[in-house]
């Protein structure tokens, strides 16, 4: 057997780990609930246990390394989580050193949204494209920028916070301190809040979508507004980066036919770079496995 690596995706509800070969073949996968009431030491040991289980089944000698995607801001030099809304007990914890200490294996940390973007560029919809951006529409909106095949980190690792681009100057307040952030106007959560605000009888994204497809004008307005917000953010990104590919992921993607026309109209109107270079805007492919692929790719990339 050739080399393999282990990727971990640590979410607020689930801890998932996968062993993936250098060719991108999934060799094994495990998942466990993330109990956020547990202490940081217990969380670290459950991460190490998941990695250890995969390593034991495949053998230590061919393990290229371990990549861990975590929700939050990471100090890349020190290997610690500076801030995390989902898993606050890991804030300030030297996660990399602690896992390395237990497993005696090198570990690379990465922000979970960045890891997902890297995963799509390695084995997903962005294969073969060196410069691309992934936007994930979920509870919030995550983003990752891949430039020259690598995650763009910025000065202190905080680049790629696409969910906090202002799309409505005096829009909905966001926990980040800003008002009118993209994630407050285009995430799955934003879609549900708009439904509530408009007095729709349903508040689940899927039901709102069905209602819109049946022609309900208020439900359609929600996806119109969400598409416009996304379009404004994408026009800005296209003007700044002039990348050839922008990928969208997450539950709301099933409503593509409802939100894409207003999104594309907005981009067309606001971005001369789009009109002149017509980059691709497409759905991502790997779903919730993107982060696992990206995390697993980190050791291979570091070694190349
Ligand atoms: Zn914000």
What is residue 85's predicted lDDT score, i.e. its pLDDT? 73
pTM above 0.85, yes or no: yes
User: Which residues pair with residue 147 across a beta bridge?
Assistant: 150
CA–centroid distance, residue 51 to ligand 1 (Å): 33
User: Hey, what are 159's tokens?
Assistant: 């680049």
Q: 184, 190, 182, 289: which is closest to 229 by C-alpha?
A: 182
Q: 192, 181, 156, 185: which is closest to 73 by C-alpha?
A: 156
Q: Reply yes or no on whether the pLDDT at 1 is more than 70.
A: no
The mean pLDDT of 132-139, rounded to a whole number, is 95
CA–centroid distance, residue 70 to ligand 1 (Å): 19
CA–centroid distance, residue 179 to ligand 1 (Å): 7
CA–centroid distance, residue 90 to ligand 1 (Å): 21
Q: What is the pLDDT of residues 184-226, one digit of tens each?
A: 999 999 999 999 999 998 888 889 999 999 999 999 999 999 9
CA–centroid distance, residue 48 to ligand 1 (Å): 32
Q: CB of 112 within 8 A of CB of 11?
A: yes
Q: Which helix (H) or strand (E) holds 147?
A: strand 141-147
Q: Which helix (H) or strand (E) holds 8?
A: strand 4-10
Q: 112, 118, 102, 119: which is closest to 47 by C-alpha?
A: 102
The mean pLDDT of 153-169, rounded to a whole number, is 93
3 state DSSP class of 151: strand
What is residue 83's predicted lDDT score, i.e. its pLDDT? 80
CA–centroid distance, residue 3 to ligand 1 (Å): 40
Give the burial string for 177-205 (b: 16+ CB within 10 Å, else e).
eeebbbbbbbbbbbbbebbeeeebebeeb
CA–centroid distance, residue 166 to ligand 1 (Å): 8
Q: Pairing relation of β-strands 141-147 and 150-151? A: antiparallel
The DSSP secondary structure of 41-99, one letter per residue, reads HHHHHHHHHHHHHHHHHH-STTEEEEEEEESSEEETTTTEEEE-SS-GGGBT--HHHHH
3 state DSSP class of 4: strand
CA–centroid distance, residue 182 to ligand 1 (Å): 7
3 state DSSP class of 114: helix
CA–centroid distance, residue 302 to ligand 1 (Å): 31
CA–centroid distance, residue 83 to ligand 1 (Å): 15
Q: CB of 130 within 8 A of CB of 99?
A: no
CA–centroid distance, residue 140 to ligand 1 (Å): 9
d(CA 31, CA 33): 7
d(CA 147, CA 159): 12
User: Hey, what are 32's tokens?
Assistant: 């466990």
pLDDT confidence band for 14 (50 / 70 / 90) = confident
**CA Rg value for the chain:** 20
CA–centroid distance, residue 66 to ligand 1 (Å): 31
Residues in the chain: 304
What is residue 181's predicted lDDT score, i.e. its pLDDT? 97
CA–centroid distance, residue 225 to ligand 1 (Å): 18
CA–centroid distance, residue 185 to ligand 1 (Å): 10
CA–centroid distance, residue 42 to ligand 1 (Å): 31
Q: Reply yes or no on whether the pLDDT at 304 is more than 80.
A: no
Domains of the chain: residue spans and CATH: 4-117+288-303 (3.30.420.40), 129-284 (3.30.420.40)
Q: 154, 143, 185: which is closest to 167 by C-alpha?
A: 185
CA–centroid distance, residue 92 to ligand 1 (Å): 22
Q: What is the pLDDT of residues 47-96, one digit of tens each?
A: 999 999 999 999 999 999 999 999 888 888 888 888 877 788 888 989 99
């Amino acid at each position: 057997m050739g080399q393999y690596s282990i990727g971990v995706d640590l979410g607020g509800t689930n801890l998932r780990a996968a062993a993936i070969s250098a060719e991108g073949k999934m060799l094994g996968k495990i998942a466990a609930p993330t109990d956020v009431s547990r202490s940081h030491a217990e969380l670290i040991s459950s991460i190490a246990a998941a990695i250890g289980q995969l390593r034991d089944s495949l053998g230590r000698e061919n393990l290229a390394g371990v990549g861990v995607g975590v929700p939050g801001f990471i100090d890349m030099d020190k290997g610690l989580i500076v801030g995390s809304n989902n898993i606050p007990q890991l804030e300030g914890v030297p996660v990399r050193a602690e896992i390395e200490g237990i497993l005696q294996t090198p570990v690379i940390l990465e922000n979970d949204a960045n890891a997902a973007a890297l995963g799509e560029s390695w084995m997903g919809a962005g294969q073969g494209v060196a410069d691309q951006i992934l936007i994930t529409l979920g509870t919030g909106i995550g983003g990752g920028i891949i430039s020259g095949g690598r995650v763009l980190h910025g000065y202190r690792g905080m680049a790629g916070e696409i969910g906090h681009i202002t799309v409505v100057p005096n829009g909905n307040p966001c926990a980040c301190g800003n008002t009118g952030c993209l994630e407050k106007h285009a995430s799955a959560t934003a879609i549900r809040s708009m439904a509530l605000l408009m007095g729709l009888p349903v508040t689940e994204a899927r039901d709102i979508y069905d209602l819109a497809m049946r022609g309900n004008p208020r439900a359609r307005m929600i996806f119109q507004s969400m598409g416009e917000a996304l379009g404004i953010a994408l026009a800005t990104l296209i003007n700044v980066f002039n990348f050839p590919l922008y990928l969208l992921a997450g539950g709301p993607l099933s409503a593509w036919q409802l939100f894409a026309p207003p999104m594309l109209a907005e981009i067309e109107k606001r971005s001369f770079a789009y009109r002149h270079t017509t980059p691709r805007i497409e759905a991502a492919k790997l779903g919730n496995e993107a982060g696992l692929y990206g995390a697993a790719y980190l050791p291979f990339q570091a070694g190349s």
